Amino acid sequence: MTSTTPAQRFSETAVGYAATMTPSLRPIATQVVHAAALRPGERVLDLGTGTGAGAAAARGEGRTVTGVDAAPGMLAIARAEVPGVEFREMDFAALDFRDAAFDVLIAIHSLLFATEPAGVLRDWLRVTTPGGRLSLSVPGPAAVTPSAIYAEIYGRHDIDVAGRYPTAESLGRLAVEAGWADIETREDGSTAINLPDEAHFRTWREIGSRGAATADLTLEQHWVLTDEMLAATPRTADGGFRIPFGTLYLTARRPR
């Protein structure tokens, strides 16, 4: 397969992502924003905004909301569907903002894609006002992620996802290392990716096929993998698919 950057992969799959992942991320975004305890008039930065689920939930009460993402395809959807937010094409790991530019930072499942998460959290700290807040989510822990039902299939296809997902403890340690204070974490093992039918499932797998863990598979191998995963996925009462995708939440504060 042709080598592409993560931003290119997300951009190319943005429409499929909006149809499959965004609906399941919206309630998580609501929880992240609720935990941020936003106040009227605050400046809010949504990091790795994607199609804008977090930014949409943060709007209101005179707040200035900015969403950043490196994938222009994602931003095109966000700009069309989430008015009242400034969306900027930017790598969340290399923020082009002055120090202390925002009162609150939110990030919905984006930190998972950071190559050096502690370094990213340090830069996020830099752009936060003293006393400002961080509220984020990531998938995890591993026992309630897709690995819980696909581990045997992954093994047959030599797909290694070991260590991909943090625990609440390891996530908290990253925040401590980056300089954040008043850190709190919690787990929710009930969240999931909910897909209404087989077509949406196959679209979700096409997005996943672009990831590093399966990038070396041939197209034919991807088809076989998708069929095996489809057969192993729990079904809902209305005939849809429910893929476990637990969530870890973290809140923190920049020391004054």
User: pLDDT tens-digit profile of 177-189?
Assistant: 999 999 999 999 9
**Sequence-separated (6 or more) residues with CB below 8 Å from residue 2:** none
Alpha carbon distance 159, 214 (integer Å): 6
**Sequence-separated (6 or more) residues with CB below 8 Å from residue 218:** none
How do residues 20-60 score in pLDDT, each as one tens digit? 999 999 999 999 999 999 999 999 999 999 999 999 999 99
CA angle 149-168-131, nearest 5°? Answer: 140
CATH code assigned at 73: 3.40.50.150
Report if residue 100 sits inside a domain. yes
Report if residue 124 sits inside a domain. yes
- pTM over 0.85? The answer is yes
Report if residue 219 sits inside a domain. no
Alpha carbon distance 116, 233 (integer Å): 32
Q: Which amino acid type is present at position 131?
A: G
Report if residue 178 sits inside a domain. yes
Alpha carbon distance 86, 78 (integer Å): 10
DSSP state string for 59-95: --TT-EEEEEES-HHHHHHHHHH-TT-EEEE--TTS-
Q: What is the pLDDT of residue 33?
A: 98
Report if residue 218 sits inside a domain. no
Report if residue 40 sits inside a domain. yes
Give the residue numbers spanning the domain of 181.
6-145+163-194+243-253
* pLDDT range class, residue 207, cuts 50, 70, 90: confident
Q: Which amino acid type is present at position 106?
A: I
User: What percent of the chain shows pLDDT beyond 70?
Assistant: 97
Q: Domain count for the chain, please give it.
A: 1
